Structure 1
Amino acid sequence: MPPSQKPAKNVLWIMCDQLRYDYLGCTGHPVLKTPNIDAMAKRGVLFSNAYVQSPICGPSRMSFYTGRYMRSHGSHWNGWPLRVGEPTLGDHLKKIGVRNVLVGKTHMAPDLEGLKNLGIAPSSIIGVHVSECGFEPYERDDGLHPTGRPRPAYDDYLRRQGYNADNPWEHWANSGADAEGALQNGWLLVHADKAARVPEEHSETPYMTRRAMGFIAEAEDDGRPWCLHLSYIKPHWPYIAPEPYASMYAASDVQPAIRSEIERDNAHPVFAAYMNMRYSKNMSRDEAREKVIPTYMGLIKQIDDQMGVLMQFLAARGLLDTTMIVFTSDHGDYLGDHWMGEKDLFHEQSAKIPLIVIDPSAQADSTRGTVCDALVEGIDLAPTFIDYFGSKPPDHILEGRSLLPLLQGKQPADWRKVVFSEYDYAMQDVRVMLGQPIERCRLFMVFDGRWKFIHASGFRPMLYDLESDPEEFRDRGADPSCADVVARLQAELFDWALHPKGHITTSNEKIANYANQQLQVKNGVLIGIWDETELGAIREKIGVKP
């Protein structure tokens, strides 16, 4: 086949919301079977040490979508706009002729004030591109829509099926009903064991799968390469599933909570405050875990079944040979472990994510079905995609690294020795509990594969040794015998904090070329030269005639 007729490379980037790394068959769950996701791992590489750059939806996703740390892109909390002008994956892909398309959730908030200041209408082509984080929104649905907000297309779909309500997402897809038909709202944990009121085929996960397949089918006529971000809303709360998934697992399938009274004895003030949050106290109850976790598992099983549908669809169209496929999550879920609910802190249950990458090229054949224990960050996906499409990742902007060498069996000698994650709790009750000023509500994690160090502004550090304490029960941040470890990881954090990639308007190549001239030329004038003799020598050296 002539080069001009080769099928276009594509990327299918699948992200689940709040999916723990250890709730898959291929990552070791003893009960939950995920054969389709496991099959994906057998076709690609399973990364066993992948971490998000913030353990909460919005900031984590903004790091995925920009390839930059939270400290660089500035979106520290859900609903905080990504500022106009912050480069995104969509900007980088647009330059090389690749469509960057969304089906599902981004948690992106537009910088309306920034658009207004620049005179850009949010509905314009540029305005939509900026407001949607560089994505072409084939279908945007963040879920979690309270009554009164503009309804997504999924609500309209439910109404067309006869499920009428002001908020059909909540009242039908995410609520149950008792024997008399009374609504049992899925927001309440006590109803997590109820079945959703819609049949399985009309629930969110298969709906989004069909929408993704719809785009792919349409894109075949377009011919341009694409990166499709299929971003599922589940297994994020409300914890409620349709049948048969609602009753697929029982309380007997719930694994023992990973927690210890040691954690609550003289706990770090920030950790103690989070253990005191409403959702933590509720999810620490066995009754809540026995209702929520079977449903959480059912929602994951539904996702796995949809992966089977999606892979068959790609295979039927001959797209598996040209499509890089990524399966991951934006963060985890404590589910009562460490006396916690939600996510928020940096235990493995929260900050570590599943990551499977399938590179279809022949160069990756040697790594298929392997597990890679290299330290990987969520920000690595953006440069990986750009690299896969054959372009050079802009390393003066992107703070992640391409995974292609690891996918193709190479072990870069200079691969990172630590990973970083950040959290800003200024928007939460924890700030008030601790009496912290807004600008001091910062947490930073540094992890080197064994030691997990957490800097907490205004407090002593936290430190966990995952070699001797893999369950992270013993905080050794105040242990004098660990002072050298604390100092070493503090130095790593200090060095990282001092070297953000801030010169995003000037490439490293331009800087290097300028410096390599070894002389300063301003407006055609050579400066700092002593006399005509020195000037003549310089001209001769650089080949400039008098």
Structure 2
Amino acid sequence: MANVKNILFIMADQLRWDFLSCYGHPHLDTPNIDRLAGKGVRFDRAYVQSPVCGPSRASCYTGRTVFSHGSTWNRVPLPIGELTLGDYLRPAGVTTAVVGKTHMVPDAEGMARLGLNQSTDIGVKIGQPGFDPYERDDGLHPTPLLRKRPKNLRYNEWLNEQGYEGENPWNDYANSAEGPDGELLSGWYLKNSNLPARIKEEHSETAYMTNRAMEFIEEQGDKPWLCHLSFIKPHWPYIAPAPYHDMYGPETWQPVQRRSEELEDPNPVYKAFTGARASEAFSRQGVRETVMPAYMGLIKQIDDHLGRLLDWLEETGRAKDTMIVVTSDHGDYLGDHWMGEKELFHECSVRVPLIVYDPRPEADATRGTASDALVEAIDLVPTFVEAVGETPAYHRLEGQSLSPLLHGKPEAEWRDAVFSEIDYAFYGAREALGTGTDDSRGYMIRTEDWKYVHFLGFPPQLFDLQNDPDEFNDLGRHPDYVERRAKMHQKLFDRLTARKNRITLSQEQIDAASNKEEESGILIGYWE
């Protein structure tokens, strides 16, 4: 089998799986992502390891669950010993770079313990995390936060060069609108979401990051590369440049998915999250209606720029040996289930789009098909490692290579459940519930027919996905489902105990070292 030379790993932040036309949205037309699906495989049941930016991405980059790698939230560093995509692909001579968001912080304490700092080559790679530095931009730059950072934001410097004045044009132009009297209307406020951003579309974050990805690819020449093009949108601030800000009116919005019964004697953890500011906002009349045009417009803008990028790859001949992946780090409630943001485990939050184009001839049989296999974000690392001709380190990696599914040769025993988790110690929900920082945890296991969520110290949630696909009826305390809950709890326990924590020795090394005491002169249990 020939190897893939290059990998274009595209991730959109907070993109729901069902807001693409190839996944069935009737009004949001995304022809370029659809075009990629027509040449590759569309995975219809793909799930993230945590419906929060940082831990989800840490799992995408390590191939390990949050429970294993320990970066449980946005501000929790990935431990210095964890290997990431760059570590796995460098032995194959692949340059790995991020263009856009990672939402991860370096393990400063671990680096200091080893005498490392980010001014050294190895320190830079650890701080990225694991990627070669290029254009990292996490896309959250309110002015007070920007002033605390030691370096200027490159995007801001570029905007200044284009004629946008001030110390923070990211905030004042790219993510703000203008009022009738010239006043600044911040995109941080949801009421301004349906107004056009004060920036030309070609200068927006999506356009800029697409350009930078193309520049990175061009600079590599004939050398193999992985470009992680990590779009900052459609994540909040929900605000889009013209003409994308008002492309989608009420006739294009899908009905909100919520019922009053969900709020009648709800699960305590779910109730605490429905009381969060974002959830209360999106539950009010008018808020979702104001945000929806921007959210949909930002997705349309991403699709348009991906079309520009895909055309360029084809015109330059790079598409023929480049694996291309489009996915998201989590979804967005947008008022569904009386929620805003993400965090919990309803499908609109934890399920993501995943489209993989494999250029190798072995994938010809599956082009344009859809797979209903239960796949996870941690499957991407072993897929990429195997694609470039390396052997996945399965003593450490917890995902499974998607190559058999891409090549029409499914493994005999593919997983029958997907797993995700949340550390809500950093949320107001913890204070509302009175839980400790180590006890504010939730774990999801989802099979073909059932979804079970275990919250430490609280009743579970249980959903019958065959009879209640919209997850309106929580059976977590229903007396008729005691046995089903017990079975799902056992399946969750089995998944948690199957994590990979012996990561320094491979299976082959263990086999070679087993039962070798006599050869070393170590005689245990002998009488004579």
Cα deviations across residues 334-365 of structure 1 (Å, max 9, x unaligned)? Answer: 00000000001000000000000001111000
Aligned counterpart, 1:539: none
**Equivalent residue for 2:115?**
119
- Per-residue CA deviations over 1:28-51 (Å, capped at 9, x if unaligned) read 111100011101100000000100
Distance in structure 2 (CA, Å) of the matches to 1:409 and 1:524: 51
Alpha-carbon distance between aligned partners in 1 of 2:81 and 2:396, rounded to the nearest angstrom: 12
| Deviations 1:99-127 (CA, angstroms, capped at 9, x unpaired) | 11111100110111111111012211110
Question: Is residue 3–residue 388 contact of structure 2 (8 Å, CA) maintained in 1?
Answer: no
Larger radius of gyration: 1
Matched, 1:79 2:75: yes
Q: 1:316-338 CA deviation, whole Å, 9 max, x = no partner?
A: 11111100000000000000000
Cα separation, 1, equivalents of 2:10 and 2:212: 13
What amino acid sits opposite 1:502 in the alignment?
N
For residue 219 of structure 2, what is the amino acid of its counterpart? E
- Residue 93 of structure 1 is matched in structure 2 by 89
| Rounded Cα–Cα distance in structure 2 between residues aligned with 1:338 and 1:521 | 63
Instruction: Give yes or no for the alignment of 1:187 onto 2:183.
Output: no
C-alpha separation in 1, matches of 2:483 and 2:519: 49
Residue identity opposite 1:359 in structure 2: D
Task: Mark the runs of 5 or more structure 1 residues left unpaired by the alignment.
Answer: 532-546
Residues in 2 aligned to 1:368 and 1:311: alpha-carbon distance in whole angstroms: 17
| Superposed CA offset, 1:357-416 (max 9, x none) | 001111000100111000000000000000101111000110000000000001211111
Spell out, residue by residue over 1:148-199, the C-alpha distance to the aligned partner (whole angstroms, 9 max, x if none).
1343211111010111122110100000001221100000000001100011
Structure 1 equivalent of residue 473 of structure 2: 474
Q: 2:283, 2:388 → 1: CA distance?
A: 46
Matched to 2:180, the amino acid is: A
Q: How far apart are the structure 2 equivalents of 1:243 and 1:206?
A: 13
Using the alignment, how far apart are the partners of 1:7 and 1:519 within structure 2? 38
Q: Distance in 1 between matches of 2:3 and 2:469?
A: 46
**How far has the Cα of 1:137 moved from its partner?**
1.8
Matched residues in 2 for 1:53 and 1:469: separation? 23
Conservation of the 8 A alpha-carbon contact between 2:4 and 2:360: no
- Give the TM-score taking structure 1 as reference length: 0.94
Distance 1:441 1:268 in 2: 14
Partner of 1:535: none
Q: Distance in 2 between matches of 1:406 and 1:207?
A: 34
TM-score with structure 2 setting the length: 0.97
Measure, in 2, the Cα distance between the counterparts of 1:520 and 1:418: 40
What is the 5 A alignment of 1:232-311? Answer: 232-311=231-310
Contact kept? 1:251, 1:291, Cα under 8 Å: no
Q: Is the 8 A contact 2:4 2:388 kept in 1?
A: no
Query: How many equivalent residue pairs?
Result: 523
- Give runs of aligned pairs for residues 5-24 of structure 1, distance below 5 A: 9-24=5-20
Distance in structure 1 (CA, Å) of the matches to 2:520 and 2:126: 36
Instruction: Confirm whether residue 196 of structure 1 aligns to residue 193 of structure 2.
Output: no
| Per-residue Cα deviation, 1:421-474 (whole angstroms, up to 9, x for no partner) | 000100111011001111110000000022000000001110011110011000
Residue of structure 1 equivalent to 2:209? 208
* Gap change, CA 1:8 and 1:19, over 3 Å in 2: closer
Alignment match, 2:517: 520
**Is 2:3–2:387's contact at 8 Å kept on the other side of the alignment?**
no
- Identity percentage of aligned residues: 53
1:28 paired to 2:21: no
Q: 2 CA distance for matches of 1:50 and 1:32? A: 20
Cα distance in 2 for partners of 1:34, 1:385 equals: 25
Cα distance between partner residues in 1 of 2:152 and 2:27: 37
Partner Cα distance (1:317, 1:528) in 2 = 68
Q: Is the contact between residue 53 and residue 63 of structure 1 (CA under 8 Å) also seen in structure 2?
A: yes
- Give ranges in structure 2 of 5+ residues lacking alignment: none
Cα drift, residue 292 of structure 1: 0.3
Q: For residue 226 of structure 1, report the CA deviation from its aligned partner.
A: 1.1
Question: Aligned residue for 1:135?
Answer: 131
